[in-house]
Amino acid sequence: MSSSYINDAIFWIEIEKVNPNPYQPRREFDELKLKDLAESIRMYGVLQPLVVTRKEVYHETGGMTVEYELISGERRLRASKIAGLSQVPVLIRNGEEDPLLKLEMAIIENLQREDLNAVDRARSFDRLAREFKLKQSQIAEKVGKSREYVSNSMRILLLPEEMVMALEQGKISEGHTRPLLMLTDRPDEQMVLFKEIMLKKLTVREAESLSRRVATDKIRNKEKYLDPAIMEMERNFTESLGTRVRIEKSKEGGKVTIDFFNPEDLCVLLEKLNGAVDSGLKMTSGPVDANTGETLPVDDRAPADVEKEDNTDLYSLKNFVV
């Protein structure tokens, strides 16, 4: 590889002559870290040379100027400008104009420095696949990773843009994308899980547990384990309590499962349930008229007396309260 350089010599060139790499895979540059690097460069200089290509530009007037295009070292170049340097040390890669090589080198350098976030890495792999027609196995070989690593990275881009942006901004971790991707075929549930991750600060393990539970619910529904009325009750419970609720029937009744993730969630649930009891359940001494809210007389007749009377109105729904 050293033969591709001009005798591995380091040249000092004017910083304004170095153009950015159009294939730079990184989109986000942490300004605070750049300032820290700039401060280090002021004290110690640029310890690792930038890698560039050299290009001669001929003008119509007959003159010629030399320009350089960055292959790797974008952060060092930006930090050097912040530090106020007029020149930077470079290694000149001779005669390399292949855009694939420029992208490949930029990706590899960033990967080796672990300097790409998950989204930038996924987009880089996607560009190698789309623009340069490389298979995932070929990409994996070039970057020294497994094919599964490349495949899993690229799957991140299957998420809705809102989730991709949250990952890029560090609001969720790469680990959170796994349970979200498990719900790709259920976009509504996927969005609910995403909001729970964001609002409740769920760990990856908690998110995976919820995702598996949704998958289990899907199997239950396919097997018609739940009837539509029970499913509607689950939705109403979930909406009222603000967390996932499951109802499971059995021969002798059933059970209601309410999710919570910390003591604070449990306290909120208790307050909501108490509030529902205080506002919605009214203790009375008898049945209540559904229209007026007034307490109706209690029928204290014996069953035998009731049977003797053909009073069908006794069983009207208006005389009963749920």
DSSP string, 246-314: EEEEETTEEEEEE---SHHHHHHHHHHHHHHHHHH----SS-B-TTT-PBPPP----HHHHHHS--GGG
Which pLDDT score is estimated for 310? 47
pLDDT at 22: 74
What is the distance between the alpha carbons of residues 123 and 129, in angstroms, rounded to a whole number? 10
The pLDDT score that the predictor gives to residue 175 is 93
Gap between the Cα atoms of 163 and 30, Å rounded: 20
Catalytic residues: 74
Low-confidence ranges of the chain (pLDDT < 50): 1-5, 223-224, 281-288, 290, 293, 295, 298-300, 303, 306-308, 310-322
SS3 content of the chain, % helix, strand, coil (to 5): 55, 15, 30
Task: Tell me what pLDDT residue 159 has.
Answer: 96
Helix (H) or strand (E) holding 124: helix 118-132
Q: Residue 286's pLDDT is what?
A: 45
Please give the pLDDT value at position 2.
40
Taking the CA atoms of 181, 184, 190 and 191 in sequence, report the sign of the dihedral they define. positive
Tokens of 236: 């109403």
d(CA 170, CA 180): 16
